[in-house]
Chain A
Amino acid sequence: MVAKRVNVLWAILGVVGGMAIGAWYMGSRIQSPAEVAARTAAPEPSAILVPVESRILSSDVVTRGTVRFGLPQPISIAPSTVKGGAGLISSLPRPNTNFGEGEVILSASGRPVFVLIGAVPAFRDMAPGTSGGDVRQLEEALARLGFDPGTVDGNYDQKTSAAVERMYKRAGWDPYVPTREQRAAVAALEREWSDAARAQLAAEATRETAVKAVAAARAIAEQNTRQASLDSAARVGDSRQLADARAGKSLALEAERARAAHSATAASADVATQMADRALIVLDPRQTETARAAAEAKLKVARAAQRKAKMEADLAIQTAAREAALAEERIRVAEGAVKAARLEGERSVRAALEQQELAEFDVKVASERAQRLNAEFTAARAKLGVQVPADEVVFIPSLPVRVHEVTAAVAANASGPVMSVTDNQLSIDSQLPLEAAPLVKPGMKVAIDEQALGIKATGVVETVATTPGTRGVDGYHFYLGVKVETTPVLLAGFSVRLTIPIETSKGAVTAVPTSAVSLAADGTSRVLVERGGKQEYVTVQPGLSTGGYVEVNTPDGQLAPGQLVVVGYKTAEPAAVK
């Protein structure tokens, strides 16, 4: 019975307990609208406070760039005409080797190649007597190196030669003295000049002879003319005689006629005599037949003699008449002879004058040649000093330089490009966005750093391109060149961050986060300041704003560093993320 009551009691207790638990469970589940509203209401916002700071505000342009040495420039060795051919490279520098002025950058066939400062590359051999800009560069370099080349005037003189010799010797090399070919060439020039001088003397002698020949020709011509004139005068006399003959007064003709009459008379008388003798003999019977024949013969001879005398007389008369007729002709011949003698004389004189002119021309040519050869010889002799072959010097606009890349090899020809060098100045190639480029000017300071490597350096803006898309940057950026000023480590090849302050506050100013400043209904700027658990607005005058901070000024100093200002209110975070 008792047990039954106990069980009933337990049952009642169980039911009551179950109802209690059910009521508790239901009570925990059932919520009043007020409870729901209270539970889902936004939490009380808690202000996020940050202190007012005193700091230097700086508006920066941040970009990136790669550090490099100056732009590589090729080093070429010019061919030397003095040497006649390129030497073989016997020593080369290693990359990154630095060279200063007056140092030997490489050697070829036992000869050095000096590096000197100069804008104009070495393009010819420099020797005593040469002049020009390259020689001036050489003299300036020698002066800088302390070798005293004399007046720096662009003329390679003996002082320059001596200075070059000292430069070679100080570097431990023999200077380049005249070659055997150069000396032989000078000797040949000397011989030629000597021959030319002799030829000049000979020409001058010829000219003197020609002058005399002209005088002689003139004298001969005058004499011949005079002789011809005399002959002509004689012919004129003959002519006068002829005229007399025509007038019947020719004595010769009359004489010949008289002699002819006399010979005829004598011959007739001789014939008459012989005829008388023959008659006497014929008529004398005592005469022999022989005597008769002889008398006949003598008669015949006498008659023949008579005919001969007649014929000779006629002939003499005819000859005299003909002579008289020829006299006029002879006068004309004599006059022609005078003219011919005059022309002959003139031609002789003219020929002599031409010879004289030729001789004078020869003298002129010979003199000029002698002078030219003398000048060449003098110049060549003057060049016989220490010289600088074109392949033994390299001019570079600025030194020192650093070997960037060696393109030639030992035992290769020392001609043309052999290496490239850069200057020792570290530069940075960078770029600026279009909107930042106008803010950056040459000369601005640049903070250089690379956080990952812990590198910090300083630089200065060297170049800002005036147009976008130049020097390897795309069309949406401007090229920016920065010169590295100080660096604790060699930055070449590194990518570094460049920070260029373009606007900065003058010293430390009172600043608050930008989000702390709000705009009031009247248009003034204000910040909400926490003071002793209470918040109140303070009107501020905003200044430079950069890096999330803004400079704030209050006329009555209501805002001081260290005070707390509200920048926002904390709200609930999503479950999975902050």
Chain B
Amino acid sequence: MGVFAVLLAPAIAAAQAQAPKGLGTEEFGMSPRELVQAIEKTEELIARCMREQGFQYIAADHNTVRAGMAADKRLPGLSEEEFVNRYGFGVTTFYTGLPPQLATGYSPARVGLGERNVQIFRKLAPADQVAYNRALLGDDVSSSLAVALEIEDLSRTGGCTRQALTETFKPDQLKATHYNPQDALINKDPRMKAALGYWQREMKKAGFEYGHPDEIEPDLRNRLSALTEGGKLLVSKMSPDQKAALRKLQDYERLVSVKSFKMQEEVLAPVEERIQEELFSRKVQ
């Protein structure tokens, strides 16, 4: 047995140090090319579905969708750290209740939809706007393709977006339980496990009970959804109690975001980069 162990050790080590074949570095473990293909195909299917619903929708090119993904936690003139310090993760702090096409400020969903689609939407009658977003996005109008891809949660999508994703992605990728295989691989690393343990302890000291940074945004979205009747309640129509609750949630988001971001940058990011370098033989963007 000792001989086998000696003889097989290099192979086992190589297997541990390299990512599985086919695992990409982009969202959902896709390669950049696969991601572009998936976006283009999904957008074409969305456009066809919307056309069947009687709506005009211009399939956004992958650059537009990628721009929407990149717009997450980004504002012109602000670094990500400054953004987080000011607006948290931007989940509750930018909530207005308006559909993304009517948003005038920060809205990755609006960027990802493309300006032409936003203009098409704005020219519709109010009833048609509601039907348009129900046809395009389903019940959760904030979950556009760009946002869903960026947060790697396709389970909140609906309408034609969901229908198109069903034809583009695997069924398990559409579930809320799906986890990016690359992240899962990194999380299995003992160094990352140790780092996550430290992160959990520090977060707990600050009063936040989370097992992983990726749990924070979904939790904030769920809390916001519960507070705003599924994201349909306009801020202007909220009662004073609801407004106070929203402000409290926004304060919570800012606190937890700042703490988590700081810990992530100081503790998790270096470990993750090191592991990624080992897995993919290069630094992952």
Which residues of A does B touch, CB under 8 Å? 14, 17-18, 21-22, 25, 62-66, 429, 433, 450-452, 474, 493-499, 574-578
- How far apart sit A575 and B170, CA to CA, in the bound complex (Å)? 10
Interface centre among B24, B37, B52 (most CB of A within 10 A): B52
Interface locus among B96-104, B125-133, B183-191, B268-276: B125-133
Whether a CB of chain A sits under 8 angstroms from the CB of B55 is yes
Interface locus among B27-35, B69-77, B83-91: B27-35
Residue of A nearest to B20 (CB): A575
Residues in B101-140 with C-beta less than 8 Å from chain A: 123, 125, 127-128, 130-132, 134-135
Whether a CB of chain A sits under 8 angstroms from the CB of B216 is no
Please indicate the chain B residues that have their CB under 8 angstroms from the CB of A14 in the complex. Answer: 3
With A18-B3, A576-B34, A577-B38 known to touch, is A62 a contact of B28 (CB < 8 Å)?
Answer: no
- How far apart sit A451 and B30, CA to CA, in the bound complex (Å)? 34
Q: B39-60 interface mask toward A, CB cutoff 8 Å, 1 = contact, 0 = none?
A: 0000000000001111110000
Whether a CB of chain A sits under 8 angstroms from the CB of B169 is yes
Whether a CB of chain A sits under 8 angstroms from the CB of B7 is yes
Asked if B127 and A62 make an inter-chain contact with CB atoms under 8 angstroms apart, the answer reads no
Whether a CB of chain A sits under 8 angstroms from the CB of B207 is no
Asked if A576 and B52 make an inter-chain contact with CB atoms under 8 angstroms apart, the answer reads no
- How far apart sit A548 and B118, CA to CA, in the bound complex (Å)? 29
Asked if A64 and B128 make an inter-chain contact with CB atoms under 8 angstroms apart, the answer reads yes
Asked if B7 and A577 make an inter-chain contact with CB atoms under 8 angstroms apart, the answer reads no
- How far apart sit A474 and B125, CA to CA, in the bound complex (Å)? 12
Please indicate the chain A residues that have their CB under 8 angstroms from the CB of B128 in the complex. Answer: 64-66, 495
Asked if A493 and B170 make an inter-chain contact with CB atoms under 8 angstroms apart, the answer reads no
Main secondary structure of the interface of B (DSSP, over half): helix
- How far apart sit A78 and B19, CA to CA, in the bound complex (Å)? 84
With A14-B3, A18-B7 known to touch, is A575 a contact of B54 (CB < 8 Å)?
Answer: no
Residues in B176-235 with C-beta less than 8 Å from chain A: none
Asked if A578 and B54 make an inter-chain contact with CB atoms under 8 angstroms apart, the answer reads no
Whether a CB of chain A sits under 8 angstroms from the CB of B168 is yes
- How far apart sit A498 and B54, CA to CA, in the bound complex (Å)? 7
- How far apart sit A450 and B132, CA to CA, in the bound complex (Å)? 11
Please indicate the chain A residues that have their CB under 8 angstroms from the CB of B3 in the complex. Answer: 14, 17-18, 21
Contact of B134 among A65, A433, A452, A499 (CB under 8 A): A452
Contact of A495 among B22, B56, B127 (CB under 8 A): B127
Q: How far is the CB of B89 from chain A (nearest CB, A)?
A: 26
Which residues of B does A touch, CB under 8 Å? 3-4, 7, 21-24, 28-31, 34, 37-38, 51-56, 123, 125, 127-128, 130-132, 134-135, 167-170
Contact of B24 among A22, A497, A499, A576 (CB under 8 A): A576
Asked if B22 and A576 make an inter-chain contact with CB atoms under 8 angstroms apart, the answer reads yes
Question: Can you list 23 A-B contacts (CB < 8 A)?
Answer: A18-B7, A21-B7, A25-B7, A62-B53, A64-B128, A64-B131, A429-B125, A433-B56, A450-B131, A451-B53, A493-B127, A495-B125, A495-B131, A496-B131, A497-B53, A499-B54, A574-B34, A574-B37, A575-B22, A576-B34, A577-B30, A577-B37, A578-B169
Residue of B nearest to A60 (CB): B52
Please indicate the chain B residues that have their CB under 8 angstroms from the CB of A451 in the complex. Answer: 53
- How far apart sit A452 and B133, CA to CA, in the bound complex (Å)? 12
Please indicate the chain A residues that have their CB under 8 angstroms from the CB of B56 in the complex. Answer: 433
With A452-B134, A474-B123, A495-B125 known to touch, is A577 a contact of B51 (CB < 8 Å)?
Answer: no
Q: How far is the CB of B152 from chain A (nearest CB, A)?
A: 12
Residue of A nearest to B139 (CB): A452
- How far apart sit A539 and B38, CA to CA, in the bound complex (Å)? 37
Asked if B29 and A578 make an inter-chain contact with CB atoms under 8 angstroms apart, the answer reads no
- How far apart sit A25 and B131, CA to CA, in the bound complex (Å)? 63
Asked if A577 and B34 make an inter-chain contact with CB atoms under 8 angstroms apart, the answer reads yes
Please indicate the chain A residues that have their CB under 8 angstroms from the CB of B170 in the complex. Answer: 576-578
